[in-house]
A and B are shown apart, each in its own frame.
Chain A
Amino acid sequence: MNSRVLNILYGVVFLGSSIYLYWVSVETGVDARRVSSDPMWYPQLLLILLGLCAGYLVLRSVLTREASPVQSVVWKPLAATLAAAGTYLAVFEKLGFVPSTVVLIPLLSWLLGFRRVAVLVVLTVSFTAAVWYGFHLLLNETPPGIGLPTFTG
């Protein structure tokens, strides 16, 4: 894929989104006599401008012959980070801060290529404890889930 194809793809997505959102705004809009009191007038104006810019991006990319290679990306660590971070954010409240964090730090560090187990263990325990106590004692905000005193007694 080159930059030209990518620009067309992004342009089409933005154009499609702006048309869909404009349609939503028309469906749910209120009938106001003046534009200044119409809550949907300003968002509609933004969506028209967005649609025009996206359309221009598509048109320009279709008509141009110049195309540069897209930025190189290493997909494996990205997929691993997306999965790990997404799961962490999803289970953060239900599982609690301490259990989810002691799994995330070593797992993500390992997936990203850091394999020194002893350092990982020490770092995970000390960082989790520091953040928990920092929020609990200094900021008066207890992180969700079971607290550290459950483990330390």
Chain B
Amino acid sequence: MDAFLSALQLLTGPSALVALVLGTMVGIIIGALPGLGSVLAITMALPLTFVLGQGASIALLLGLYCGSVYGGSISAILLNTPGTPQAAATGLDGHPLAISGRADLALGWATTASAIGGIIATIILAGAAPLLARVGLQFGPVEYFALGVFALTCIVSVSREDMTKGFIACLLGLFVAVIGQDSLTGHVRFDFDSFQLSAGIGLVPFLVGLFALSEVLWRVCQPGDPSQDRVMRSGFAFPGFAELKRRWSVLLKSSLIGTWVGSLPGVGATSASMVSYAEAKRSSPRRADFGKGEPDGLIAAEAANNGVTAGAMVPTLSLGVPGDPITAVMLGALVLQGITPGPRLFMEHADLMYFIFMALLLANVVLFVCGALMAPLFSRILRVPEPVLLSCIVVLIAIGTYSINSSPFDLLVVFVAGVSGLLLRYNNFPLAPIVIGFVLGPMIEESLRQGLLLSRGNFLGFFEHPIALTLFILTGIFLFLPFIRERLARMLRRGSPARSEQ
């Protein structure tokens, strides 16, 4: 009870409340601008967590997370250009509803479904995370190593275009994390006699460069998008309680799908909203209207992608293993605040856990209020000239990163990481495995070496641990599943002409 009350006190303090509201508002704006997205919003805010207190920092990041995921729906509805990949399914019914003259109602449904989806998922998170943490208490170094490898494999295996590139990206992230002092022996690695490198590559400059600066560089070199010229007027119309009651089953089912998919490493909000949309289309009595502006489709996509926000926090908080780049950055931010996510977090920082649950709940309420109040401004936000916006982002990247250590070396890291990110994007290398590899790298190395110490250098001893063995088997399945699927598809392709000839 004491922990609950101290969390409540922290959340109702002015700094945390202001950070939550501002974070949600800025998140909505960044999410709404096509192409910027949640990772950019959160990485840009990372430097601020150094100067804000613990509560305010977490509230800011959670507000940004929820706000930016919802924000993606605005441009999907008004422009038919999803602001974030998570909102791809939202435009399928949201935009037809908007062009039929009901943009207000489309935004109303998106806002309401996002808030309800987020709230339902948070309630599930509050129940599930402690249970998973209890399982996590049985984890030793071997189990943590197996879990880290499993999480990385999941991220790599969803690199649909090319798994080899996914592996290279993941190994790059793991390698960058080893630069600097070895935590077990104190030996300095790959410093090339540079004092700055001996301290390692900082999380913030690396991530800000890799995601934020490379995003700016990537956007300027893409052929122009004339979508800004066709923004329609926006407003907010609450769908009404009777309509909500009529569609409650879609809302609940989509929120549960979002939470479940979100808790799986590497799957993410884009898949969640697509799966939820497909399920709603399959089971809805109004399935014939899907794609023509049916609110059920909009609800399914939005409730699911906002459900992912809390779902993705389940493994991040209870096991310390992030499922996507956004939670990897959040995990990094928590570590910078002196908090180590994992099973012990629930025992050692129960107040913080209550704080996170309550902040997530409140963020979804704030999201609803801000979404309703800011709706008339959305069309103006989407008309902000991109050159000015990108210039301002470069300024924020520089000042935010520099303010942490007042170090020009950090700015150099930002630039190098930004250019590297651009080059990797150019040849379709996924960036998500680099982040997850970088964040999980120290944990994987430490647990591998401790595990080897316990098993006296015998790696086969790792397979004697049942939990680790299960995770290794799952890793193998995830690793080979795309190859098996590809083989089957090829066999089917080969078989189909023969059948047609018969």
Contact = CB atoms under 8 A, between A and B. Distances in A.
Interface of A: 3, 6-7, 10, 14, 21, 24-25, 28, 30, 34-37, 39-43, 46-47, 49-50, 53-54, 56-57, 60, 70-75, 77-78, 80-82, 84-86, 88-90, 92-93, 97, 101, 104-105, 108-114, 119-120, 123, 127-128, 131, 135, 139-141, 143-144
Contacts of A42: 178, 445, 448-449
Nearest to A43: B178
Interface of B: 48, 51-52, 164-165, 167-168, 171-172, 174-175, 178, 182, 184-185, 187, 189-190, 192, 213, 216-217, 220-223, 385-388, 390-392, 394-396, 398-399, 402-403, 406, 408, 411-412, 414-415, 418-419, 426-429, 445, 448-450, 452-453, 457
Contacts of A35: 449, 452, 457
Contact of B168 (A37, A57, A131): A57
Nearest to B410: A89
Contacts, number: 171
B457 to A, nearest CB: 6
B222 A50 contact: no
Contact of B51 (A3, A75, A140): A140
A21 B197 CA distance: 15
A60 B171 contact: no
Nearest to A7: B427
Given A34-B457, A85-B394, A112 B220 contact: yes
B399 A85 contact: no
Nearest to A32: B185
Nearest to A79: B221
Closest 5 pairs (CB-CB, A-B)? A112-B387, A78-B221, A39-B182, A39-B187, A114-B387
A105 B402 CA distance: 18
Given A82-B217, A108-B387, A114-B388, A39 B223 contact: no
Contact of A36 (B419, B427, B429, B449): B449
B458 to A, nearest CB: 11
A120 B385 CA distance: 11
Most buried by A among B165, B220, B426: B220
A50 B168 contact: yes
B388 A120 contact: yes
Contacts of A43: 175, 178, 189-190
A49 B391 contact: no
Given A57-B168, A127-B392, A135-B399, A46 B175 contact: yes
Contact of B453 (A34, A88, A92, A144): A34
A45 to B, nearest CB: 9
Contact of A108 (B192, B223, B394, B427): B394
B399 A143 contact: yes
A69 to B, nearest CB: 12
Contacts of B453: 34, 36-37
B395 A101 contact: yes
A110 B52 CA distance: 35
Given A49-B167, A50-B172, A143-B399, 11 more contacts: A21-B190, A24-B190, A30-B185, A49-B171, A53-B168, A71-B426, A74-B223, A89-B415, A93-B411, A111-B387, A139-B48
Contact of A104 (B171, B395, B402, B428): B395
Nearest to A93: B408
Contacts of B390: 81, 108, 112
Given A46-B175, A108-B391, A114-B388, A141 B51 contact: yes
Given A30-B187, A73-B426, A113 B411 contact: no
A7 B388 CA distance: 34
22 contacts: A7-B427, A37-B449, A39-B182, A42-B178, A42-B449, A43-B175, A50-B171, A53-B171, A56-B164, A70-B426, A77-B221, A85-B217, A85-B415, A89-B415, A92-B411, A97-B399, A109-B385, A109-B387, A112-B386, A128-B395, A135-B403, A144-B406
Nearest to A40: B189
A37 B223 CA distance: 52
A74 B225 CA distance: 13
Nearest to B452: A36
Contacts of A140: 51
